[in-house]
Amino acid sequence: MEIVAKKKWEKQALTPRGLPVRIPMHVKTNDKVVVIAGADKGKVTNVVEVFTKTGEVLCKDVNVKTKHVKPRGEGETGQIIQREFPIHHSNVMHYSEAKSVRSRIGTKEEGGKKVRVLKKTGEVLAN
C-alpha cells in the first residue's frame, strides 16, 4: 500500500487501471467517534464525510479553522469564515455512548450478514 501524497503538485498513487488508490478505513459516515490525537483530543463527534483517496475524515466541530475567502463576483465582498477541515482517520476511534468508552472495531456474522462490532462492548454498529 502506497501512501497518498498530500501536496497538490505531487502525483497521486494509481491502480494498474489508472484509478486512484483507495485507502481502506475503519470509519464510515455517521459513525460516533472520539478524537484521540491533536488539538481536539477527547472530543466526541460524528463523522460527516469520508475521503478514501486521502485517508481523511471530516468530523462535526473538529479541526475548525479560519478561512479567508476572496470575493468571487463583481460587487461581492471578501469573507472570513470558520470551517471544519479533515483529519486523518487514524486520529479517531469508535465511541460507545452506552458505556462511554472508545473501542476498536471487529466483525462478526449475524443472520448471514457481516456486521461491525465494537470489541470492548460487543455493540453492533449500523452499516
C-alpha cell at 78: 471578501
Sheet holding 32-35: strands in order across? 87-88, 56-59, 44-51, 32-35, 92-96, 101-103
pTM: 0.85
Q: Residues near 9 by Cβ (< 8 Å), separated by ≥ 6?
A: none
Whole-angstrom Cα distance, residue 59 to residue 35?
9
Strands (E), 1-127: 32-35, 44-51, 56-59, 64-69, 79-84, 87-88, 92-96, 101-103, 105-110, 113-118, 124-125
Instruction: Check: CB of residue 126 under 8 Å from CB of residue 75.
Output: no
**Ramachandran class of 119: left when φ > 0, alpha when ψ lies in -120 to 50, beta otherwise:** alpha
- Residue-by-residue pLDDT tens, the chain, 127 positions: 555 556 778 888 889 999 989 999 999 999 999 999 999 999 999 999 999 998 999 999 999 999 999 999 999 999 999 999 999 999 999 999 999 999 999 999 999 999 999 999 999 998 7
